[in-house]
Copies of this chain bind each other. A is one copy, B any other.
């Protein structure tokens, strides 16, 4: 079983940010600077075209560490953050670029592309979680949450369905399809689900249908005005509160 190999360390504003690899997969682990006691772990999923070192990821991690006292881990999805792309990846990215240039709908191409990424990413996340739980400051048996929207949900939704260690998840900004709906029907942990009312990539009815497919007894939809990239800042605060309630309650 591969273990966590730290590659860098930086501290700012009370947050220790460490680069790491688990096997071939690079990632980031953000932790509180003060206090060496154990804390719950939040797995943070990035969006399409981004990676674990994107500024938005560091921003979300800082809130989770600062306001929730969590450890926060992210890994680069297959084909992202400098990781090699397969021929399939290249073909789908070319198809995506053609559709965008032609002004055609990209949703179906993105869903197919992301489903392929998710099939590879879910076992990588599970191996990363195994390795992170070997660290003394995290440990096995503690609470684990997941937070990722858009491509972070394409990966995080089947991950949450497959991984019993995840006990609460923030998901959203993603379209319904049959495979995802089947996975959603196996999720019973509390979920906070983001939807953008005027999302240009996710049709409203499709996002509502994916929320509906979740089997969780506690699930909350947060729908806001605006497009895919216009989620209001207060939703990040809401996600931290939701994870705090469930991982520290």
Contacts and interface: CB of A to CB of B under 8 A. Distances in A.
Interface stretch (A23-31, A174-182, A214-222): A214-222
Contacts of A216: 225
A118 to B, nearest CB: 25
Kindly list the 7 A-B residue pairs having the minimum CB-CB distance in the complex, ordered from nearest.
A221-B223, A220-B224, A219-B225, A217-B225, A222-B222, A220-B222, A218-B225
A203 to B, nearest CB: 14
Contacts of A220: 222-224, 232
Contacts of A223: 211, 220-221, 223
Contacts of A197: 212, 219, 221
Given A220-B222, A220-B223, 17 more contacts: A197-B212, A197-B219, A208-B208, A216-B225, A217-B225, A218-B224, A218-B225, A218-B232, A219-B225, A220-B224, A220-B232, A221-B221, A221-B222, A221-B223, A222-B222, A223-B223, A238-B238
Interface string A207-249: 0100110001111111111000000101000100000010000
A167 B218 CA distance: 31
Nearest to A195: B221
Interface string A94-127: 0000000000000000000000000000000000
Interface residues of A, number: 19
A223 B194 CA distance: 11
A223 B221 CA distance: 5
Contacts of A208: 208
A224 B219 contact: yes
Nearest to A221: B223
The winner among A222, A225, A245 for most chain B CB atoms within 10 A is: A225
A227 to B, nearest CB: 13
A238 B237 CA distance: 11
13 contacts: A195-B221, A197-B219, A217-B225, A218-B224, A218-B225, A218-B232, A219-B224, A220-B223, A221-B221, A221-B222, A221-B223, A221-B224, A234-B245
A195 B197 CA distance: 15
A46 B218 CA distance: 26
A238 B197 CA distance: 20
